[in-house]
Structure 1
Amino acid sequence: TELMMFAQANSEHCRHKIFNASWTIDDVDQTWSLFGMIKNTYQQGGDNVLSAYADNAAVMAGHTAGRFYPSPESQVWNYNNESIALLMKVETHNHPTAIAPFAGAGTGSGGEIRDEGAVGRGSRPKVGLCGFTVSHLNLPDHPRPWELGYGKPSRIVTPLQIMTDGPLGAAAFNNEFGRPNLAGYFRTFEVATSDGVRGYHKPIMVAGGYGNIKVEHVEKPPFEAGAKLVVLGGPAMLIGLGGGAASSMTSGSSTEDLDFASVQRQNPEIQRRCQEVIDRCWERGEQNPIAFIHDVGAGGLSNAFPELVKDGGCGGDFELRKIPSDEPGMSPLEIWCNESQERYVLAINPEDLSEFEAICVRERCPFSVVGEATSEQHLRLGDTLLESNPVDLPLSLLFGKPPKMHRTSYRALPPTDDFTGEVPISEALERVLTFPAVGSKSFLITIGDRSVTGMVARDQMVGPWQVPVSDVAVTTAALDTHLGEAMSMGERTPVATLDGPASGRLAVAEAITNLLAAPVQTLEDINLSANWMCAAGHLGDDAVLYDTVKAVGLEFCPALGITIPVGKDSMSMRTQWDDDAETKSVTAPVSLIITAFAPVADARETLTPELKRDEATSLLLIDLGQGKNRLGGSVLAQTYGKLGASVPDVAADDVKALFNGVKALTAAGTILAYHDRSDGGVLVTLLEMAFAARCGLNVEIKCQPEQAPAVL
């Protein structure tokens, strides 16, 4: 039992050893760790950040408005005028989504919702997002010329099955929990290069969103010895064993039965009941009975309870048989280490326990007092049935600092090719418009609720014909105000195959240009979640990762005045298997998924891509690429099975100038419609605006005929 607990608590998934490592690149020792460079954005800015790197989600300052919740005494619902802090989190659930997409993506969304509800001394999730990156779909009845037919290992499902079942799993959890899903992305990428096949047989599945918390509940103060240690939520079951360790490994390097054993199952109803308990607690303000709260994720209770007492400044004495269980035949290891979902662990002071129990009974939410906090920094798990102590060790042994990892890498030449974009424009347009990253995302959007809460001001669908082209998601801060909160996404992972730092800058810039559709007041109001993926140790990818983090954390974000207070890393993005006598592998490029969050002014002033058909208007292109029209890593190149050579890039000064210009023009009422240039270039941007308005366009772009595909 102790060894299994160690395996989860000290996995890359939980300890982030690579991001905390020291580095040598091209035989030169580097000054910064990866995490140090991310924290630099907070040290250089972070003025509106209330909590960073210390909790289940980051927290930033928000608006003051009337939160609508009941009085604890009378149960009468009223508006409560107060400061409403904005919390943000984006998680990844890549490994289980490759094995069982519905359950993997569903529990990914559910786990991220728990993160949002377990901030400070209790908080409330509000809106969600969901994104996927997979290898090519290989539709049986619609083969496309860019598809490789490279195959896959038997233990993972096809990209098509991921994109059929995964979004349904995520949508099911959000729908049944009662959270609108307002943003996301979908990309396919798979290309044969001189360095091997690059793609996403191990997919990216991101789940995120934002919520709210009372300012007085943001901090998690230590609790005293004698506090009751409680598990809130569903029972233990024999599902999800070893998820933390399994997700830290290259796909295919573990045994197939262990891969399947690590996948969890979801129960949104129980999580909704848990959230109602948490809501009734934080609504009490200073009388909140929750002294400390932590969600249960990777490693199950074997990770959550030790983290709870460590972070609370105590030790813990637990009784195994007090853990609610639906499978009486489980061993002590299985009871302690299973990752059954929809659970939280809490510290409740003894004098508040009766009130907490009454709330749980009222909300019909299961709970159990499993242990008690001790003054000695020691962890004991007793078993009255077998009359033994499956766990009996000092906390310092479990959480003591391991030897610091050191990484050595060498920069390698990128796998460029001869793609120049000189292709027939009609053929190029047909290919680009049918490429999944460009095509309609309606099938991913309409499966999810987009209006629950009554505070949604802008979802994915635009205009009277509900075309899915919105750049940003926006809600009001509360029911009695038009002041809002917004989020958007940005990613340019294929570009990283050729130039990692450029892909990082493009991801940040895309998130900002998307968010700019909402009335963000200053660049400094924006905070980012950065989700990093990499096949650690593969060729020169470690060096690409280091250079990309440096470009974003030390250079680009500080130049913009933007902070990255939260994120996640997944360092095992490689799939390897044997196909007869041949060893095959598919390796993801260094991948950065950026999500931008900000409080905004009047949510009704959010711009959309819908053109105004009844006015004589002009279309203006603001080109952050400065007319260079570089095609490296573009969708156009990918539709011909290529990457190209020279990649697009962006400068921080240009992003600043765009932000200030759009803000000034919006204030003057000059801008009637707005859309960022993204996958597919200018032509797709124009077409999406025309689709939203159902109108034609008269466009003049000066270039030579052979330059048209690149320019457009």
Structure 2
Amino acid sequence: MNQQSVTTLDTVTRASESPDTEQPWADLGLKQDEYERIRTILDRRPTSAELAMYSVMWSEHCSYKSSKVHLKRFGDLPSETPLGKTLAGIGENAGVIDIGQGWAVTFKVESHNHPSYVEPYQGAATGIGGIVRDIMAMGARPVAVMDPLRFGAIDHPDTARVLPGVVKGIGGYGNSLGLPNIGGEIVFDDCYQGNPLVNALCVGSLRHEDLHLANASGTGNKVVLFGAKTGGDGIGGVSVLASESFDEGGPTKRPAVQVGDPFAEKVLIECCLDLYAAGVVEGIQDLGGGGLSCATSELASAGDGGMRVELDRVPLRDSTLSPEEILMSESQERMMAIVAPDKIDAFLAITNRWDVEAAVLGEVTDGDNLVITWHGETIVDVEPGTVAHEGPVYERPIARPEWLDAVRTDSSDSLRRPDDLGATLLDLLASPNLCDKSWVTNQYDRYVLGNTKQATPHDSGIVRIDEESGLGVAVSTDCNGRFGWLDPYAGAQLALAESYRNVATSGALPLAVTDCLNFGSPEDPGVMWQFEQTVAGLFDACLELGIPVTGGNVSFYNQTGETAIHPTPVVGVLGVLDDVATSVRSGFEAKGEVVLLLGETRDELDGGEWANAVHGHLGGRPPKVDLAAEKALAEFFVDAVRRGLLTSSHDLSDGGLAIALAESVLHGGTGASLDLSPVLDRDGIDAFTALYSESTARALVTVSSESDLADLVGVAETHGVPLARLGVTDGTDLRIKGVLTLPLDEMRTAHTGTMSRYFG
């Protein structure tokens, strides 16, 4: 359709006069009842431009139409933290948390799953770009990124296509922005074979007074689009791709995946910070999923009036784009600001200084509607709330899967336990999920900007926020999808508990949660049962831990044909350190230190890495969740680290004590001589269980002297944390009395060879 036919046939007036005109609502992803609802809202058929806007904004990705009824309970969590009030929460571009001393941090995790399967490099790169702009839109400077990733089998040909492209995209965009990549995860599992998960997290810092929100208020204030020009590279983009399952042969809908320009985004970051510093921005919104449709409708809906926009003023890379395509385009590196008339010259002077193109598209009005024109013709005239926030809300059918009972009775107890525990440890160290991932992380710049205190492979990433005081934050993301498959309620809590524990082991006080809930089709009652259980598990756990959920993302339709991924609620936890210099690393770096195990060990191997990597088994019930023990352990760490008692700390999770010990000796380069007898006698278990159980609320620590040990025992008793002395650090071997002796060199060879063997 050419531009002239759009302006003469698809105006609001003509739409009112031609109610029977057929429209391609199904091709745009709308259901018939949704299309009829749009007609009811407008009291006429929509123009093609309005239809484009509603189709994008009512997509699963933008509207949360299948998850809203469940997510609303997160709003009942307390917004207070030990350091102050949540400054911005669910519903904003990203959550903002007070971390003390007048500083705040904003953080959020989102998905770019399907685009990264279609175009691995650009899908992953623009996933980083999009989450960074969410952080920018809060008035913050981005300071670090993280990337939780899930792929299919490590030896599958399509994994060899997807993984290298995704990693290059993350590194290429993040490195070019000059942002350190401080952590994340890489998990391989057959369930992600046709549907990899590419989640991206960003952290930003700001002073309290610099907080900005997304709203268009103040009649007469100008609407300004600035950044890159709009092109056809992102039309339909994530809003369509994330709202439909893939068929067995691959994606059926292939809208153009967005193409990123990290250097343009870097300039945009600095330009935005200058605009904030100059006080010339009244409201701001990034352009991500939904593009201009999202930015205009959300800003107007959150404001106190209407908005008028002249769409033909949008700077274009492709002059042939129709109004519908301009509204749907998800081209990258774009922002929209609301600017007072008396500040517009100063605003444009700053964008000009940074060589960032800016165009005044319209203004805030005293009416109620969002009105968009195209060469003088009105092509959109809607109440913005009906587009942005009042879309369909579904209470999808929920049914507990019939197969679950049989799966839960298939415990790992029936699996043959090994005689050679040392050989088992070498096998696990070389397994895809536990092997060294430096082939990936070495492609990321982890220390750019000079404020990274700690990064992969340590338990959490730590960045300094205030260079004078040393105030900083620790962040971790975690999730075991196998646990979620066995028990989605417990699986969500286990994901939260591990991430919470990873932050705490550094000495940071856990403050806030963000989550990316990755699931199959919401039209499957079994998937919706998993989702409902996951949300309930997260809510109950956050309530008990006293920690708010500040925002996140839901990603549905992660399945190929009838095969859904395991429920994968990636949970990010952020904690605060008064001074990052006090944080504790995870390696044994000196000889003669005392090695201690915190927590209790039970026979809990179902869903764990031993059953998965050695036997390919998944059944039974996941480890018991003990949130009171997790909270006590976190309080112990904050206390012990502030006293300067610990020389290392490492959480126990995937692979249990055996992997924690192996990683500690490999990370620090110092061996250990240990005896498991105190744990075996106290907990009534055998050596195999002690090494490979994945019981929760446990950690491995070292102290440098007997006097520090005495003080640490007192701290453990104060917080009710069980403690067992295992031995001392020494030499170049890992020696466990009567169980195994392994040279560090042999362990390192097993641990580091896997990724390069498959990916070169």
State whether TM-score is above 0.5.
yes
How far did residue 484 of structure 1 move? 1.5
Give the letter aligned to residue 392 of structure 1: D
2:231 is aligned with 1:212: no
Q: 1:636 aligns with which of 610, 617, 620?
A: 610
Match of 1:453 in 2: 449
Match of 1:683 in 2: 658
How far did residue 168 of structure 1 move? 1.1
How many angstroms apart in 2 are the aligned matches of 1:15 and 1:508?
25
Match of 1:38 in 2: 74
Give the letter aligned to residue 140 of structure 2: S
2:247 is aligned with 1:252: yes
Match of 2:554 in 1: 569
How many angstroms apart in 1 are the aligned matches of 2:252 and 2:622?
42
Residues 88-103 of structure 1 aligned to structure 2 (within 5 Å): 88-103=107-122
How many angstroms apart in 1 are the aligned matches of 2:667 and 2:236?
47
2:466 is aligned with 1:478: yes
How far did residue 388 of structure 1 move? 3.3
TM-score, normalisation: structure 2: 0.79
Match of 2:668 in 1: 693
How far did residue 214 of structure 1 move? 2.9
Give the letter aligned to residue 481 of structure 2: T
2:1 is aligned with 1:7: no
2:606 is aligned with 1:617: no
Q: Which moved more, 1:540-549 or 1:415-424?
A: 415-424
How far did residue 354 of structure 1 move? 0.5
User: Does structure 1 retain, via aligned residues, the 8 Å contact 2:515–2:570?
Assistant: yes
How many angstroms apart in 2 are the aligned matches of 1:397 and 1:542?
25
How far did residue 691 of structure 1 move? 0.5
How far did residue 599 of structure 1 move? 2.2
How far did residue 653 of structure 1 move? 1.1
How many angstroms apart in 2 are the aligned matches of 1:100 and 1:206?
15
Q: 2:601 aligns with which of 605, 627, 636?
A: 627
How many angstroms apart in 1 are the aligned matches of 2:253 and 2:108?
29
2:195 is aligned with 1:202: yes
Match of 1:111 in 2: 130
Match of 2:530 in 1: 544
User: Does structure 2 retain, via aligned residues, the 8 Å contact 1:63–1:477?
Assistant: no
How far did residue 434 of structure 1 move? 2.1
Q: 1:473 to 1:91 in 2, by over 3 A?
A: same
How many angstroms apart in 2 are the aligned matches of 1:449 and 1:107?
17
How far did residue 507 of structure 1 move? 0.8
Match of 1:501 in 2: 489
User: Does structure 1 retain, via aligned residues, the 8 Å contact 2:79–2:86?
Assistant: no
How far did residue 541 of structure 1 move? 2.7
Residues 113-512 of structure 1 aligned to structure 2 (within 5 Å): 113-119=132-138, 122-138=139-155, 158-190=158-190, 198-218=191-211, 220=213, 223-243=217-237, 244-252=239-247, 258-259=253-254, 261-284=255-278, 288-384=279-375, 388-399=377-388, 401-402=390-391, 404-412=393-401, 413-414=403-404, 415-416=407-408, 417=410, 419-420=412-413, 421-424=415-418, 425=421, 428-460=424-456, 469-512=457-500
User: Does structure 1 retain, via aligned residues, the 8 Å contact 2:397–2:525?
Assistant: no
User: Does structure 2 retain, via aligned residues, the 8 Å contact 1:109–1:173?
Assistant: yes
- Residues 139-196 of structure 1, C-alpha deviation per residue, up to 9 Å, x if partnerless? 56xxxxxxxxxxxxxxxxx223221110110111111112111111111122xxxxxx
How many angstroms apart in 2 are the aligned matches of 1:666 and 1:301?
48
How far did residue 632 of structure 1 move? 1.6
- Residues 483-533 of structure 1, C-alpha deviation per residue, up to 9 Å, x if partnerless? 222211221211111111221111111111110133324x5xx10102112
Q: Which moved more, 1:696-705 or 1:527-536?
A: 696-705
How many angstroms apart in 1 are the aligned matches of 2:479 and 2:470?
30
- Residues 216-264 of structure 1, C-alpha deviation per residue, up to 9 Å, x if partnerless? 23253652121111111111111112121321111239995732x2411
How far did residue 397 of structure 1 move? 4.3
Same amino acid, percent of matched pairs: 25
Bigger Rg, structure 1 or 2: 2
- Report which of the two has the higher share of helix: 2
User: Does structure 2 retain, via aligned residues, the 8 Å contact 1:42–1:564?
Assistant: no
Give the letter aligned to residue 685 of structure 1: A
- Residues 328-363 of structure 1, C-alpha deviation per residue, up to 9 Å, x if partnerless? 122222222211100001111110010011101111
User: Does structure 2 retain, via aligned residues, the 8 Å contact 1:131–1:207?
Assistant: yes
TM-score, normalisation: structure 1: 0.84
Extract unaligned runs of 5+ from structure 2: 1-48, 695-760
Q: Secondary structure at the match of 1:103?
A: helix
Q: 1:211 to 1:708 in 2, by over 3 A?
A: closer
Give the letter aligned to residue 538 of structure 2: V
User: Does structure 2 retain, via aligned residues, the 8 Å contact 1:159–1:201?
Assistant: no
Give the letter aligned to residue 617 of structure 1: E
Q: 1:185 to 1:377 in 2, by over 3 A?
A: same
Give the letter aligned to residue 217 of structure 1: D
How far did residue 43 of structure 1 move? 5.5
Q: Which moved more, 1:211-220 or 1:698-707?
A: 698-707
Give the letter aligned to residue 166 of structure 1: V
Give the letter aligned to residue 557 of structure 2: S
- Residues 441-475 of structure 1, C-alpha deviation per residue, up to 9 Å, x if partnerless? 11221112222222222222xxxxxxxx3111112
User: Does structure 2 retain, via aligned residues, the 8 Å contact 1:474–1:603?
Assistant: yes
Q: 1:710 to 1:445 in 2, by over 3 A?
A: closer
User: Does structure 1 retain, via aligned residues, the 8 Å contact 2:516–2:554?
Assistant: yes
Q: Secondary structure at the match of 1:504?
A: helix
Q: 2:584 aligns with which of 566, 588, 607?
A: 607
Q: Secondary structure at the match of 1:293?
A: strand
Match of 1:52 in 2: 89
Q: 1:548 to 1:258 in 2, by over 3 A?
A: closer
Give the letter aligned to residue 40 of structure 1: D
How many angstroms apart in 2 are the aligned matches of 1:90 and 1:400?
21
Q: Which moved more, 1:429-438 or 1:301-310?
A: 429-438
Match of 2:733 in 1: none
How many angstroms apart in 2 are the aligned matches of 1:708 and 1:674?
18
Higher relative contact order, structure no. (Cα contacts within 8 Å, ≥ 6 residues apart):
1
User: Does structure 2 retain, via aligned residues, the 8 Å contact 1:246–1:262?
Assistant: no
CA RMSD of aligned residues (A): 2.3
How far did residue 673 of structure 1 move? 0.9
How many angstroms apart in 2 are the aligned matches of 1:348 and 1:254?
48
Q: Secondary structure at the match of 1:501?
A: helix
How many angstroms apart in 2 are the aligned matches of 1:598 and 1:168?
29
User: Does structure 2 retain, via aligned residues, the 8 Å contact 1:455–1:478?
Assistant: no
How many angstroms apart in 2 are the aligned matches of 1:706 and 1:694?
25
2:66 is aligned with 1:18: yes
Q: Secondary structure at the match of 1:621?
A: strand
Match of 2:713 in 1: none
Match of 1:513 in 2: 501
Match of 1:27 in 2: none
How many angstroms apart in 2 are the aligned matches of 1:529 and 1:439?
27
How far did residue 478 of structure 1 move? 2.2
How many angstroms apart in 2 are the aligned matches of 1:488 and 1:706?
29
